[in-house]
Amino acid sequence: MLLGGLLLLPALLINLGVVVFIDDEAIRSLVAQEMIWSGNWIAPTMHGDAYLNKPPLWNWLVALSFLAHGGASEWAARLPTVLALLGFGATTFFFSSKYFSRHTALLHALMVVTCGRMLFWDSLLALIDVTLSWVVYTQIMLLYHYGRQGKWWRAFGWSYALTAAGFMLKGLPAIVFQGLTVLTILWWTKQWRQFFRAAHLLSGLGCLALLGLYYWRYSNYVDLSWVAERLFIESGKRTAMAQGLGASLRHLVEFPLEMSYHFLPWTILLLLFFRKGSWTALKTNDFAAFTLVAFLVNIPVYWLSPNVYPRYLLMLFPLLFGSLIFLYSREEEKDTQVYRGFRWLFLGLMAICALVIPLIPLIPDTEMVSHAWWKSFVLGVTAGAVWWLGWRSPRDTVLAFAVMLLVIRIVFNVFVLPPRAAGDERGNAVRDTAHAVVDQHESQRMAIYGFTLIEPATGYYLSIRRGRIIPRQWEKFDDTTAYIVSPLQYPDLEVSATDSLYLRHLRVNYPVGRLPDPPAGRAALNGVLRDGMGAGIPVRATE
């Protein structure tokens, strides 16, 4: 336990900021930085244009991190994700320890932190989903914990307050999860009448009042009809209606296997459900049974929605893990053949890791890592010590395996992230050409021409280097401003380009320079409006 605590922060923080942003990170960070520059924390913008896709709570958190660090950076943007993950793990332990032994609750919390999708992907990124998942999971736990005790004012009051926070993070999904879980807990406790009582009705109205207060202020800047339309588009674009019948049927079949893969290694415990009497065993612990039911009630939200990312499910798999770790603990207590099989599997995997880690410097890409052999030796010895702890104490085998995953994450941080960052030619080209363009036009006004598609990472690195908002300009063009123009959307527009800007996904270079013959009218929308092309909706100034 002590070793795991010592390894947790290095595992989550080493080289957190070395890799350039992916586009979704750049969106959140650019919106946050524009809030700081403009002083407008109510109406989010991108390049001075109204940003409608997400409410602003995550942007506020990222902006606060930027202010605390004295400026924007990959590290500062990603740190709130790490803090949210630590809070997520602590919350899991807090609630689980009320219904499981402290040892089992600790394993449950570590499963949340060390599942593959979380440890090797989402905890590395400045995205909304880890924080949203923490909020939604806490909603569900509060409904169960207080509802089971009949303390409905607390159950509904706190969970609806978190529903408002979840909505301010990502919109409608928080309300969907709250609604499904409210129905589940009322069915579970056989307290349907609570749905119509004051505790539920007033808490729900309180949630709406909190959201209404924000959108009342927001309406001073942007027409709310635009916001409502965008929220429903964002929530519905991954549904079966949006994706088509063929994609939906394929998704129904592939979803269980794909998601089980992403949440390895702990989803290997799903084999426990095939044991005769598993549900009977779960019913001996009300919490373990409820977590499985809550998972099954909520998972269709994404099982029936094609084109979802595994990070959307981060709030649901801790529910599944709760039931799995309970079943595993029962097998452990009885010292069953199934338990011994899992134990030998975990010990075997740990042994392989302990043997391989010291040899990592033999991989050519690690040549750039300083003192690679010393680092691999120390980490290999640590891995060996973890294996020995798991071998010596059968009860601590799963705990040791979770700690081994933290060791592997440190290995990943030290030996994979720096070569990945250096070898990301396209990502580095985005950042380097953005910096070069800004430096070339340091004394010249810059703007984005009309609906020119700007990939968010490009927009972020341009703006941060510039140190102020690079606006979109829709009309009243001149021949002195340096315009960023898409040759794909505006092929007939003449640009006296002095340099070019690389876009990673389009794999094209945009010319940047003056317009010798500026158009007299408003920039036209050539094609379908897509993300990265702006909304064309100005944010009104208020006194």
Could you read off the pLDDT of 190-203 as tens digits, one per residue?
999 999 999 999 99
Residue 542 corresponds to which tokens in the numbers above?
């208020």
What are the residue ranges spanned by the domains of the chain? 73-334, 337-423, 425-514
| The predicted structure's pLDDT at residue 207 | 96
Residue 529 corresponds to which tokens in the numbers above?
């409006």
- Can you tell me the mean pLDDT for 499-522? 90
With 60 as the cut, is the pLDDT of residue 72 above it? yes
E strand spans, 173-218? none
Helices 397-415/2-13 angle, 10° precision: 30
CB 303 within 8 A of CB 255: yes
| The predicted structure's pLDDT at residue 244 | 54
CB 354 within 8 A of CB 383: yes
| The predicted structure's pLDDT at residue 73 | 96
CB 52 within 8 A of CB 230: yes
- pLDDT-derived band at 240 (thresholds 50, 70, 90) equals very low
Q: Are strands 446-449 and 49-50 parallel, antiparallel or unpaired?
A: unpaired
With 90 as the cut, is the pLDDT of residue 252 above it? no
| The predicted structure's pLDDT at residue 241 | 46
In the chain, the percentage of residues whose pLDDT exceeds 90 is: 73
| The predicted structure's pLDDT at residue 334 | 85
CB 510 within 8 A of CB 501: yes
Which one, of 332, 335, 295, lies nearest residue 314 by Cα?
A: 295
In the chain, the percentage of residues whose pLDDT exceeds 70 is: 96
**Higher per-residue confidence, 542 vs 522:** 522
CB 92 within 8 A of CB 137: yes
- pLDDT-derived band at 257 (thresholds 50, 70, 90) equals confident
- pLDDT-derived band at 413 (thresholds 50, 70, 90) equals very high
CB 311 within 8 A of CB 129: yes
Task: Mention every residue, 6+ apart, whose C-beta is less than 8 A from residue 39.
Answer: none
| The predicted structure's pLDDT at residue 404 | 96
User: What does 371-431 look like in DSSP terms, one character per residue?
Assistant: THHHHHHHHHHHHHHHHHHHHH-GGGHHHHHHHHHHHHHHHHHHHTHHHHHHH-HHHHHHH
Using DSSP's 3-state secondary structure scheme, residue 502 falls into: strand
Q: Poorest-confidence range of 176-190, 237-251, 312-326, 420-434?
A: 237-251
With 90 as the cut, is the pLDDT of residue 429 above it? yes
| The predicted structure's pLDDT at residue 8 | 93
Q: Is 39 left (phi over 0), alpha (psi -120 to 50) or beta?
A: left
Which secondary structure element, helix H or strand E, spans residue 227, and what is its range?
A: helix 224-236
- What sign does the dihedral 132-135-138-140 (CA atoms) show? negative
- pLDDT-derived band at 1 (thresholds 50, 70, 90) equals low
- Radius of gyration from C-alpha coordinates of the chain: 26
Residue corresponding to tokens 């991989």: 363
- pLDDT tens-digit series, residues 153-192: 999 999 999 999 999 999 888 999 999 999 999 999 999 9
Helices 74-96/57-69 angle, 10° precision: 120
With 50 as the cut, is the pLDDT of residue 517 above it? yes
CB atoms within 10 A of CB 448: 26
| The predicted structure's pLDDT at residue 235 | 54
- pLDDT tens-digit series, residues 381-403: 999 999 999 999 888 899 999 99
Residue 333 corresponds to which tokens in the numbers above?
């207590």
- Can you tell me the mean pLDDT for 411-433? 94
- What is the CA 5 to chain-centroid distance, rounded? 23
Q: What's the pTM? A: 0.93
- pLDDT-derived band at 498 (thresholds 50, 70, 90) equals confident
Average pLDDT across the chain, whole number:
91
Q: Are strands 45-46 and 49-50 parallel, antiparallel or unpaired?
A: antiparallel
Per-residue CA distances from 433 to 292, 458, 462, 465 (Å): 50, 9, 9, 11
- pLDDT-derived band at 348 (thresholds 50, 70, 90) equals very high
- pLDDT-derived band at 243 (thresholds 50, 70, 90) equals low
| The predicted structure's pLDDT at residue 246 | 63
| The predicted structure's pLDDT at residue 232 | 64
Distance CA 120, CA 78 (A): 14
With 60 as the cut, is the pLDDT of residue 409 above it? yes
